[in-house]
Amino acid sequence: MTKHLYNIPGKSIDIGKQVSNYINSLTKPLGSLGRLEELAISLAEMKNESFPSVSPAGVLVFAADHGITDEGVSAYPKAVTEQMVLNFLNGGAAINVFSRQIGALLNIIDIGVASDLDHSDLINKKVRYGTGNFLREDAMSREEAEKAIEIGYEESIEIINKGAQCLILGEMGIGNTTASSAILALLSGKAIEALVGTGTGITEEGIQHKVSVIKQSLQNRNPDSSDPIDLIAKVGGLEIAGMTGAMLAAASMRVPILVDGFICTIAALLAKQLSPNASDYMIVTHQSVEPGHQIALSLLGKKPLLDLGLRLGEGTGAAVTYPIIQSATLMVKEMATFESAGVSQKN
């Protein structure tokens, strides 16, 4: 793994203190903008700027297939991954709608779809044609896991260089809640039953089957939970690895990361494992319905901003939360102070 992935600066605590004092001089009762105030301070610490901007957001959606779908772990067929990539490229998916709404830059990356796709707007970075079925074989080699992380890293640098001031990571990969649950079981040490959920909408019986597939897979593969590359290679996914790499790049460039739901949080945990400072640059946008998400968030040490009952992925929860994060930056930038507005301060 190339060294630069680990080169992440610490947050600027001094700037945070300055901004905190400045927020207290704005025309509102002390602390009355609650978590918006915390967000404004965090963003300043991340960007090392008193008046940071998060506009425009950059959205990267990584798409890849999962061999584990052969075991019947998703409510939808594997072919939906490819079909949804075409939907993204035609502008019809939820993430397209929300990206347009917030004026975001949006890139769709094929990092491992199991078929050949041809579209001028598709970024073709296919590492392999989907992962192996990890019940029977490793999902991928270590080299492929590292390559997928590196691709995510490069795509992130590219969209940041095009002007993205914060980063939203999305994913598309039928079967990826199974891979994510397998990784989380190892990272958390929790019972698999406690963290497996419905994904795209499997039944209670389907959930039991998914649990037994994960249990058997973990016995068969026996990944080393202290080695994130081994986790990805044995039971992970190419799009998960891509998101991990993208987060490491954003953090290294002091660009805030808007973490989406369950799958994205698993990528965030892997990024944190590779480079602990990475989590200083993460804002968790919402609470996913997937039961594993709460467990993953407690490992990440973050509290989500919203709970909208979402269980989609694609980066959608992060995109719909973006305006709130933007509000935090505009509050600091545009509000008057007690002094400038001639408003009396607290008795």
Ligand X SMILES: O=C(O)c1cccnc1
Could you say which residues in the range 67-96 bind ligand RBZ, by CB under 6 A? Answer: 74-76, 80, 84
* Residue whose pair of structure tokens reads 């939360």 in the numeric block: 321
Residue 288 interacting with ligand X (CB under 6 A): yes
Q: Which two tokens stand for residue 211?
A: 């649990």
Does residue 199 bind ligand X (CB under 6 A)?
yes
Judged by CB under 6 A, does residue 88 bind ligand X? no
HSE-up (13 A, CA, CB side) for residue 280: 21
Task: Say whether residue 242 binds ligand RBZ (CB under 6 A).
Answer: no
58 or 313: CB nearest ligand X: 313
Question: Considering CB distances under 5 to 8 angstroms, the limit depending on partner class, which of ligand X, ligand RBZ, none binds residue 173?
Answer: ligand RBZ
What SS3 class is residue 62? strand
Q: Residues in contact with ligand X, total (CB under 6 A)? A: 13
Catalytic entry in 144, 146, 239, 314: 314
Q: Say if CB 160 and CB 246 are below 8 A apart.
A: no
- By beta-carbon proximity to ligand X, the closer residue of 262 and 322 is 262
Q: CB–CB of 254/9 below 8 Å?
A: yes
Stretch of 93-101, 181-189, 306-314, 326-334 contacting ligand X, by CB under 6 A:
306-314
3-class SS of residue 42: helix
Annotation marks residue 193 as catalytic = no
Q: Check residue 273 for interaction with ligand X (CB under 6 A).
A: no
Backbone angles phi, psi at 230, to 5 degrees: -65, -40
Q: Rule CB under 6 A: is residue 290 a binding residue for ligand RBZ?
A: no
213, 194 Cβ separation under 8 angstroms: no
Segment contacting ligand RBZ by CB under 6 A, of 38-46, 119-127, 160-168, 175-183: 175-183
How many angstroms from the chain centroid is the CA of residue 83?
22
Taking CB under 6 A as the rule, does residue 200 contact ligand RBZ?
yes
Compare residues 78 and 221 and give the one whose CB is closer to ligand RBZ: 78
> In this structure, what is the dihedral angle of CA atoms 32, 37, 39, 44, given to the nearest 10 degrees?
170
Taking the complex as a whole, the smallest distance from the CB of residue 81 to ligand RBZ amounts, in Å, to: 6
Q: Which amino acid is at 151?
A: I
The one-letter amino acid at 303: K
Nearer to ligand RBZ, 5 or 84 (CB): 84
Do 190 and 291 contact (CB within 8 A), yes or no?
no
Contacts of 183 (CB under 8 A, 6+ apart): 231, 232, 235, 236, 240, 266, 269, 270
Taking the least distance from each CB to ligand X, the nearer of 179 and 328 is 179
- CB of 320 vs ligand X, minimal distance in Å: 13
| Residues known to be catalytic | 314
Binding site for ligand RBZ (CB under 6 A): 74-76, 80, 84, 171-178, 199-200, 312-314
